[in-house]
Amino acid sequence: MTAATLTIATTTDEVEAAAKSAHAAFLSAAGTDPSTRAGWLDAVAQALRENAGELVPLGVADTHLAEARLQGELKRSAFQLELLAGEVRSGVVLDAVIDHTDPDWGMGPRPDIRRVNVPLGVVGVFGASNFPFAFSVMGGDSASALAAGCAVLHKIHPGHKTLALRTAEVVVEALRNAGAPEGLFAVVDGRPAAEAMVDHPLVKAIGFTGSTAGGRALFNRVSARPEPIPFYGELGSINPVFVLPEAWSSRSADILSGYAASFTMGMGQFCTKPGVLFIPDSATEDLLRGALAPALEQAPLAKLLTPGLRNSFGQARDGVAGFDGVRALVPGSDDEAPSPTVLLTDAAAVRSNPEILRQEMFGPATVVVRYSSPAVLPELAQAMEGQLTATIHADDADDAGDLLRTLTGIAGRVLWNGWPTGVTVSHAQQHGGPYPATTAPGTTSVGTAAVGRFTRPVAYQDVPDSALNPALQEANPWGIRRRVDGRFDDAPSGFGEAVR
């Protein structure tokens, strides 16, 4: 593949030009039929797969992440595009609803009203450091914005700039070859450009994955715009795991080795890393150390994603370790590639200082909390902030009902006898939760439902059939699934099958 010439906007003027070009591309793509638009996503997926041999080594060099992990992440990103392409083809993302004229409607005569989702316009997407494929140039936010019909301005993450720029070239080239309008996807680089992008009147939504501090600053900036726009920020999450007594007594060793593997995976640089493990206080320190040791020794050490992250990690870890009642069960090293840290505390300490449960340590560190009675767990869970995930380990004889209800109240995804790292891309997935897990708790950044974030509904009243979007025309020329007069009228063709 010949490398495309990539324009990188770094100044305010260049962002202005990129935003206008993206807006023009968005408008020019507005009438595109679902099949053609889906083809653009498929083309980008195929280009990612075809260029894996070049892209993955660039990612390894930039991020210190393992090659196999990045191979999997690229495959995931391509799969995501193909799954969303299937949703576009099926028309699910359009959510077309038709209410015919009804003279006997219960509140008085009803006009003909037809609603369809339309794209928001230009979307600004910030690359995340920790997923150089899946949450970066062509990650979940870019893929769902394109699936929605939006144009994308992507802010390059400096932690993997070489990979990001090459990925962007591959994406731009693939879109061009597939016939998408020039400018539908473009990149910006550097802080001044990022701020100009966030402030630009033609930018109609922002997708962000990163730290709570950085995310909140951006949220505040977006909220202060003359025209505030949706800010889909995924900020911080502790991802507590609650082990109930029967599960603990029947398989504590398995649980601890699974825990150690999960929190050290990718050097602990996952938004879903289990940061707190609640276990019964029957567990002695010796037992814990002994059961954790083999898995911790197996965890390969690597440098963290960036020197800045290494720095913040040390500060966060030392901060939590310094709280009253917290001590090191397994002290980690202070190397550039720090060995894992396991801190230990108890329910009394976290009850008197819930901050222990609220400090994300982004890297290989976690806290074990011993409790004397599982009856306190719902209260401790309630002391936590909003979470992406929360996990219960329980056997049949455990009573998890109250805890499950409590976790439903604070988390976006609740797991049972599993580990939160690993987020499948599917129709039912929910990756998001109450603040600070996200700034938009009703939305997900993973899975097919992510597309809806970048659309808004428009209703047409008494508009002639020929002037309507084909999604709303009486004859249903696109053959999509619609709701008509309250009834769901599934499309004749199956879907959700595109990539199976």
Active site residues: 234, 271
Between 322 and 494, CB nearer to a second copy: 494
Task: Work out the angle between the directed axes of helices 34-50 and 67-90 (0-180°, nearest 10).
Answer: 170
- At 345 the three-state DSSP class reads strand
The two most distant CA atoms of the chain are separated, in Å, by: 76
Is residue 106 classed exposed, middle or buried when 0-12, 13-18 and 19+ CB atoms within 10 A define those classes?
A: exposed
**Shortest Cβ 194–a second copy spacing (Å):** 20
Note if the bond before 436 is cis, omega within 30 degrees. Answer: yes
44 close to 139: Cβ distance less than 8 angstroms: no
Tell me how far apart the alpha carbons of residues 295 and 419 are, in angstroms, rounded to a whole number.
15
Q: What is the DSSP letter of 142?
A: H
Q: How far is CA 199 from CA 126, 202, 231, in A?
A: 14, 9, 12
Tell me how far apart the alpha carbons of residues 165 and 190 are, in angstroms, rounded to a whole number.
13
> What are the structure tokens assigned to 215, written together?
């995310």
279 close to 371: Cβ distance less than 8 angstroms: yes
H or E stretch at 48: helix 34-50
Angle at 431 between CA 248 and CA 341, to 5 degrees: 45
**Shortest Cβ 79–a second copy spacing (Å):** 4
Interacting residues of 103 by C-beta distance below 8 A, sequence separation 6+ = 109, 110
Between 219 and 313, CB nearer to a second copy: 219
**Shortest Cβ 297–a second copy spacing (Å):** 26
**Shortest Cβ 321–a second copy spacing (Å):** 25
Q: Does residue 63 come out as left (phi exceeding 0), alpha (psi in the -120 to 50 range) or beta?
A: alpha
Between 176 and 456, CB nearer to a second copy: 456
**Shortest Cβ 325–a second copy spacing (Å):** 25
Phi first, then psi: give them for residue 353, nearest 5 degrees: -140, 85
Between 332 and 433, CB nearer to a second copy: 433
Between 53 and 106, CB nearer to a second copy: 106
> What are the structure tokens assigned to 99, written together?
């209410």
Phi first, then psi: give them for residue 74, nearest 5 degrees: -65, -45
Residue 66: how many other CB atoms lie within 10 Å: 16
64 close to 304: Cβ distance less than 8 angstroms: yes
Between 300 and 488, CB nearer to a second copy: 488
Between 223 and 373, CB nearer to a second copy: 223
> What are the structure tokens assigned to 93, written together?
């993302």
Q: What is the DSSP letter of 266?
A: G
Angle at 245 between CA 240 and CA 250, to 5 degrees: 110
Between 346 and 402, CB nearer to a second copy: 402
**Shortest Cβ 401–a second copy spacing (Å):** 7
**Shortest Cβ 311–a second copy spacing (Å):** 26
**Shortest Cβ 293–a second copy spacing (Å):** 27
